[in-house]
Structure 1
Amino acid sequence: MNTELTDKSFWANYWESKKGLAFKVPVNHTFYKVIRRITGKNKIESAIELGGFPGYYAIFLKNYFGVNASLFDYYIHPQILHEVLAANQLSENDIPAIEGDIFSYSPKKQYDLVLSCGLIEHFTDTRDIISRHVDFVKPGGSLLITLPNFTGVNGWMQRKFDPENYSKHNIDCMDPKLLADHAKALGLKNVRSCYYGKFTIWLENKAQQPSSVKALFKLIWLTGKIFTKIIPIDSKQLSPYIVLTATK
């Protein structure tokens, strides 16, 4: 059985503590280049965002690509969802939302694109949680999984200054080769897995940190930004994300 590193109360507290969630999702939203590549190569008419509350990528797909997109999550806050959709000129009828447990839910349909952004790292059995994604994918459909990279500089920040949040993540799964091996073992094709993105760091509890930590944060952030502007490479130490793509 896959062990969850979080529970429903964790996510309720997490989302209720967040400010500024209701914004218009921009055309250059994170991972837009990956999504554009997938939609350019494949006919994507339907999609579902797993573990994606409040549905930014479902909204992105709906508004910029005309995809019939849905949202699935273990925890959905109706008021926050309504506010986020309204900020994007959408309603609950435009983005169907399903609240459920991915380990007990049987998909009622399959989709051309199944994506999750920051889901699989909250479980201990990585191959199993990826297999749950595959259940939602149509034959010939596409899979996109992204997760944070806590094995480099950003991970050091998390471990040092927010160990509580760090402990909610399965660091062992943050390995592109491991993810690719799992995807291939599950029968997926055209597997591509890599570190992704120019340098950045974040702390969920940054506002509560002392000024000395905020100053260190700013110094590391600025140094990393300058370095990756000069040498723009994706790497284990500096890239903030890992991206896995495949077809079924």
Structure 2
Amino acid sequence: MNNLLTDRDFWVKYWESKTDLSVVIPKNYLFHRQLANIVSSNRVKTAIELGGFPGYYAVFLKKYQKLEVTLLDYFVHPPITEALLEANGLTRDAIEIIETDLFKYQTLKQYDLVLSCGLIEHFNDTADIINRHIAFVKPGGTLFITLPNFKAINGWFQKSFDRDNYDKHNIDCMDPALLAKICTDAGLTVVQARYFGKFSLWLENEKQQSIGVQLLKKSMWLTGKLFTKVFAFESKQLSPYIILEAKKP
């Protein structure tokens, strides 16, 4: 349990606080180019999204890449996922859903693509959680992990105005070199481990923040967007995400 920065109760309350979860997933969804390239380059047929409820990336891969997709998470509320599938023109059984504790589940199936987006940073032992991902990867398959970069300006903003949410994240794991080393030590070939995106800024439940914080966020967001439009580069200081892609031999 010392490995967990969150628990089931946290995620139940987190998702219950959200509205309008049944959105239409666009073709240009975040990381769409990276995922499309992995699918086409590696002839991917099967994929599993770990910790991905309500299943946005599972839906994206089913809807646009026509993969056989599984969603695995510790907390799944079926009506939300079913509504999401319906909003995207998919049947209720379009994706397989496994509600289980990743730390107790022993998979009997491996996949061409194993991905998680915003999962590993909620655990203290980064090597352990990544190796649990690797267990799902077929020989020759691909591991794709994304996480926020709270060592950037966005992290300062989170720490300053939503400390409770900030403390639910393992800041030390937000290091591309560390993530690459963990994969290399596990015998994988690292394709890329880098900062991703020019600039972004967000707060969970922004509408619950004071007007002053909301205005500050908007002004910083606009300034950052204008700056990175002129100076378009990805960096530790500005990029909002980190991506890791590795191949299993």
With the shorter chain as reference, the TM-score category is over 0.9
User: Are the counterparts in 2 of residues 184 and 191 from structure 1 also a CA contact under 8 Å?
Assistant: no
TM-score relative to the length of structure 2: 0.97
Instruction: Answer yes or no: is 1:99 the counterpart of 2:79.
Output: no
Q: Which one is further off, 79-88 or 108-117?
A: 79-88
> Contact 1:179/1:244 (CA < 8 Å) preserved in 2?
yes
2:71 matched to which residue of 1? 71
Deviation at 1:91, TM superposition (A): 2.8
**Matching residue of 1:135:** 135
Q: Which position in structure 2 is the counterpart of 1:81?
A: 81
SS at match of 1:238: coil
Q: TM-score, normalised to structure 1's length? A: 0.98
* C-alpha distance in structure 2 between counterparts of 1:32 and 1:7, whole Å: 30
Tell me the SS of whatever aligns to 2:44. coil
Instruction: Tell me how far 1:218 sits from its aligned partner.
Output: 0.8
Output the CA distance in 1 between the equivalents of 2:208 and 2:222: 21
The separation in 1 between residues aligned to 2:86 and 2:142, in whole angstroms, is: 28
> Where do 1:12-51 residues align within 5 Å?
12-51=12-51
SS of the counterpart of 2:89?
coil
Residues 45, 68 of structure 1: 8 Å contact kept: yes
Structure 1 alignment gaps of length 5 or more:
none
Q: How many Å apart are 1:108 and its aligned residue?
A: 2.0
In structure 1, what is the Cα distance between the partners aligned to 2:191 and 2:127?
A: 14
2:80 matched to 1:116?
no
Distance 2:161 2:205 in 1: 8
8 Å contact from structure 2 (residues 180, 190) kept in 1: no
Cα gap change, 1:45 to 1:2, in 2 (>3 Å): farther
Question: C-alpha separation between the residues in 1 aligned to 2:190 and 2:181?
Answer: 12
Using the alignment, how far apart are the partners of 1:242 and 1:64 within structure 2? 23
Q: Is the 8 A contact 2:183 2:190 kept in 1?
A: no
1:1-248 alignment, distance < 5 Å: 3-248=3-248
* Inter-partner Cα distance in structure 2 for 1:86 and 1:10: 27
Displacement of 1:237? 1.1
Counterpart secondary structure, 1:27: coil
> 3-state SS of the aligned residue for 1:28?
coil
2:49 counterpart SS class? strand
Pairwise CA distance, 1:2: 6.0
- Secondary structure in 1 aligned to 2:192? strand
Contact persistence 1:146–1:243 (CA under 8 A): yes
Q: How many residues align?
A: 248
